Amino acid sequence: MPTARAHSVLELIGNTPLLEITRVTQGLLRPGVRVFAKLEGVNPGGSVKDRPARKMVELGLQRGELRPGKVIIDSTSGNTGIALAMVGAALGYPVELVMAANVSRERKKIIEAFGARPIYSDPLEGSDGAIVLCRKLIAANPERYFKPDQYNNEANPLAHFETTGPELWRQTRGRVTHFVAGIGTGGTIMGTGRYLKAQNPAVKVIAVEPDDPMHGLEGLKHMASSIVPGIYHERELDGKIQVSTEDAYEMVYALGQLEGVLVGQSSGAAMVAALRVARGLREGCVVTVFADFGDKYLSTNLWIGWEQWRRERLLKLVSKWNASASVTT
């Protein structure tokens, strides 16, 4: 249960609500199929990344790897950086964050507002460029830094095994049949998927990734063209769905205007994939994760031209989102 009174903002992480998606799915699913989304934007740092950020820093402190005089540093596409900046502020540790220079203006401002120092890498190199630059900075001064290393730290999926998975199992009363989540570091889908399969091996775990290396889905990785995170193990998945940037953006508009939920583009992609899975079922409970809310992206290309949309177009487009691709195993 949520904490009634907290002594630290870190105690407010987790126990996020589960929302049933009903209007976007209206008329598209069989009566025995339901779709839910976990609203991770409710976390105090505004995203699902609050969970692993707290866990990685806590374990670093326990192991003595993080101690007074050290600086927390990591590469990030934005949300993990915000989470680490928040955790560092709460614990009194300085934070430096390496990110591509083209992450959204809102993310940059939030990171600075928490007192962290942003370091920008080549925008054309995306999250991989930030990873490489971060490694160079640490190599130049290894004693200065503590690197949580979200891409390779098993505390990342462990945070989801210990919190996200149990929450979903409890919130669905053990009825979840399919778990669908985007791939960034891989922590969410690995940790949550492991927990759900430990409760019921029949649960299907399905990953979501962009369909093209030059995508516009901030926070997600196209694995074939990226540095694959050490914590990501595709053999544990039951399938993978690729989603186009256009379809993800259209779903963001639909969720905002039909469900009243403003999310980011990775959440739009997750919903497109969840709907494709649900459309193929006779019965089941499909759960996905909305990694954050959309307020961090209002200055990005996501919202260029959105005014052209009209409510009567949205339901017609749902059939296109579901017809273009299927799960691959």
Catalytic residues: 49, 266
Cβ neighbours of 324 (radius 10 Å): 14
Q: Which residue has the tokens 């994760």?
A: 289
d(CA 219, CA 252): 15
d(CA 319, CA 105): 33
Tell me the CA end-to-end span of the chain in Å, nearest whole number.
Answer: 37
Q: In a 10 Å sphere around its CB, with 0-12 CB exposed, 13-18 middle and 19+ buried, how is residue 276 labelled?
A: buried
Q: In 53-121, at which residue ranges do the beta strands (DSSP E only) sit?
A: 71-75, 95-100, 117-121
Q: How many residues does the chain have?
A: 329
Which of 157, 327, 122 is closest to 229 using CA atoms?
Answer: 157
Which residues have a Cβ under 8 Å from the Cβ of 327 and sit 6 or more positions away? 206, 239, 240, 241, 276, 277, 280
Token pair for 105: 């203006």
d(CA 213, CA 279): 27
DSSP letters along 146-186, please?
E---TTT-THHHHHIIIIIHHHHHHHTTT---EEEEE-SSS
